[in-house]
Amino acid sequence: DLFTEVAGRAEAEDRRYLMEHEVKAVLEGLGISTTGSGVARSEEEAVGMAEAIGYPVVLKIASPEVVHKSDAGGVKLDLKGPEEVGRAYAEMVEAFRGKEIFGVSVQRMAPPGTEAIVGVARDPTFGPILMFGLGGIFVEILRDVSLRSIPITEADAEDMIRGIKGRPLLEGYRGRSADIPALKALLLEISDLVVRHPEIGEMDLNPVILYPEGYAVVDARIIIG
Ligand code: ADP
Ligand code: MG
């Protein structure tokens, strides 16, 4: 399958970190909605891809050496036309001179919504664990997360979603809500992927943006082993 292919390529290149575009391609193959996994290798190609996607778009550095892309200036949001895309591409390649660059990811700009995080970690005693929480202060400051051992059941997925303190933001609060059936399906799909591929050591979908209808995985990474 696609995961095996992507992981095989990484292994051949002696890397354990699967880049955003690689992980998103795997997720898309499972029917999971993302902001896109296309990578441009030239300014012309970046503009061509942006034209095909429709504006605004986002450019991100795709490098096996860059894990935290925005810290290093590797994320450019809300690019509104071919000139902005061309300039952003050139600036990005310049900013990462000296690093190994695979290319520049060109993707659609997700509209604002409720930011969530889905993660996988491996505990030496409990094995693989699935984590779900809301983004920003909810996870970072309030540690408002749900954890379950993988594999999860449909009831676990429901409990994980309804079990966080920020639950009202998902169920409907001041015009915000989330598509809970779609979110449940996402959690189950990630659990299944980890069961099929025990070589997944860590996984991080951060953020996933939630909407009243559907969601979009905006950023993704996997560590093998
Ligand atoms: P990092 O590697 O720094 O985590 P991200 O891909 O998560 O990089 O991008 C940083 C932030 O930029 C995200 O948390 C999100 O708020 C915003 N962002 C990134 N990509 C998109 C996108 N396609 N649409 C909308 N917002 C985005
Ligand atoms: Mg991120």
Domain range annotation of the chain: 36-109, 114-224
Q: Is 110 in the pocket of ligand 1 (CB under 6 A)?
A: yes
Say how many Å lie between the CA of residue 216 and the centre of ligand 2.
13
Residue 174, number of CB atoms within 10 A of its CB: 7
Q: Is 35 in the pocket of ligand 1 (CB under 6 A)?
A: yes
Say how many Å lie between the CA of residue 46 and the centre of ligand 2.
21
Confidence at residue 145, expressed as pLDDT on a 0 to 100 scale? 95
Which CATH superfamily, name and number, covers 114-224?
ATP-grasp fold, B domain (3.30.470.20)
pLDDT (tens place) for every residue of the chain, 225 residues total: 999 999 999 999 999 999 999 999 999 999 999 999 999 999 999 999 999 999 999 999 999 999 999 998 999 999 999 999 999 999 999 999 999 999 999 999 999 999 999 999 999 998 999 999 998 777 777 789 999 999 999 999 999 999 999 999 999 988 889 999 999 999 999 999 999 999 999 999 999 999 999 999 999 999 999
Tell me which residue has its CA closest to atom 14 in ligand 1: 207
Confidence at residue 140, expressed as pLDDT on a 0 to 100 scale? 75
Which CATH superfamily, name and number, covers 36-109?
ATP-grasp fold, A domain (3.30.1490.20)
Q: Is 37 in the pocket of ligand 1 (CB under 6 A)?
A: no
Listed residue (189, 216, 80) closest to 135, CA to CA: 216
Q: Which ligand is nearest to the CA of 135?
A: 1
Q: Which ligand is nearest to the CA of 33?
A: 1
> Ligand 1: which atom is nearest the Cα of residue 135?
14
Of 68, 137, 219, 221, best ligand 1 pocket probe by most atoms within 8 Å of the beta carbon: 219
> Ligand 1: which atom is nearest the Cα of residue 206?
7
> Ligand 1: which atom is nearest the Cα of residue 57?
23
Confidence at residue 6, expressed as pLDDT on a 0 to 100 scale? 98
Return the structure tokens found at 192.
């299944």
Same fold, 36-109 and 114-224: no
Confidence at residue 138, expressed as pLDDT on a 0 to 100 scale? 74
Q: Is 220 in the pocket of ligand 1 (CB under 6 A)?
A: no
pTM of the model: 0.97
Tell me which residue has its CA closest to atom 4 in ligand 1: 68
